[in-house]
Amino acid sequence: MNGMAPPRRLVGVALALGVALLAPACVGWRISREFFAGPAGATPAAIEVVSGEWRVGEAIGLAAGMPALEQLGGAPAGGVNLCLVGAEPFEEGALEVRLEAQGGSLARGGGIAWAIGDGSRFAWVEVDLLAARIRFGQCADGQRDEIASATIESGTGWRVLRVDVSGDEARATLDGQLVLEAESTAFEGPGRVGLFTSADARTRFADFVAIRRR
């Protein structure tokens, strides 16, 4: 894997009932009404685009007037569309976002990135509704590698994706249900946080929350 940190242990997979998550003390938090606000069609001021085209849209089907961040899916096969959200560093805590797949023939969905260094190194969790999978992975020097994955129901409409990070441990929940746990040194920060899609996936994101334990 080109010197990249290998996964150390797959800790769990899909559970039928909600399970208590890591509960970090709230050090700081932000929501999408700050991050994603701006004129329709523009790039929000709090968003730093690394790759792809990101613009302000409307979170149709959610609270009236809630802004959404739209990704138009311009990356080639194997590539990513990545943006950084806010400027504060994140090391441990929870990250959550609502996402709605709009289309894509190679991938459909999106995810959360953290421990972002220069944009070519980060940890990630991704929902791919085309493949009906949720995945943990890492990106180093522009190459993405999967650490762990599990099967999910594909479905349509808005989904709620959350990742709880504590040291080298990460837990992913989808719509309030714990679906995947893994351990890897790739999960360790500090670094910035962001959102991403794969290849031609077109996705709306809304209601982003970052809770930092440190």
Do the strands 159-166 and 169-174 form a parallel or antiparallel pair, or are they unpaired? antiparallel
For residue range 136-178, what is the model confidence (pLDDT) as tens digits?
Answer: 999 988 789 999 999 999 888 999 999 999 999 999 999 999 9
Query: What's residue 139's pLDDT?
Result: 93
Domain ranges of the chain: 7-212
Selection from 113, 114, 105, 95 nearest residue 160 by Cα: 95
Query: What's residue 31's pLDDT?
Result: 53
pLDDT at residue 35 is higher than 60: yes
Other CB atoms within 10 Å distance of the CB of residue 52 = 18
Other CB atoms within 10 Å distance of the CB of residue 108 = 24
Residues 185-196, mean pLDDT to the nearest whole number: 93
Query: What's residue 125's pLDDT?
Result: 98
> What's domain 7-212's superfamily in CATH?
Exo-inulinase; domain 1 (2.60.120.560)
Residues 43-69, mean pLDDT to the nearest whole number: 89
Q: Convert 141-169 into a string of H (helix), E (strand) and C (coil).
A: CCEEEEEEEEECCCCCCCEEEEEEEECCE
Query: What's residue 196's pLDDT?
Result: 96
Query: What's residue 214's pLDDT?
Result: 64
- Residue environment code for 17-27, b if the CB has 16+ CB neighbours within 10 A, otherwise e: eeeeebebeee
Query: What's residue 110's pLDDT?
Result: 97
Whether the upstream peptide bond of residue 190 has omega within 30° of 0, thus cis, is yes
Residue that the structure tokens 């001021």 belong to: 45
pLDDT at residue 70 is higher than 90: yes
For residue range 104-121, what is the model confidence (pLDDT) as tens digits?
Answer: 999 999 999 999 987 778
pTM of the model: 0.84
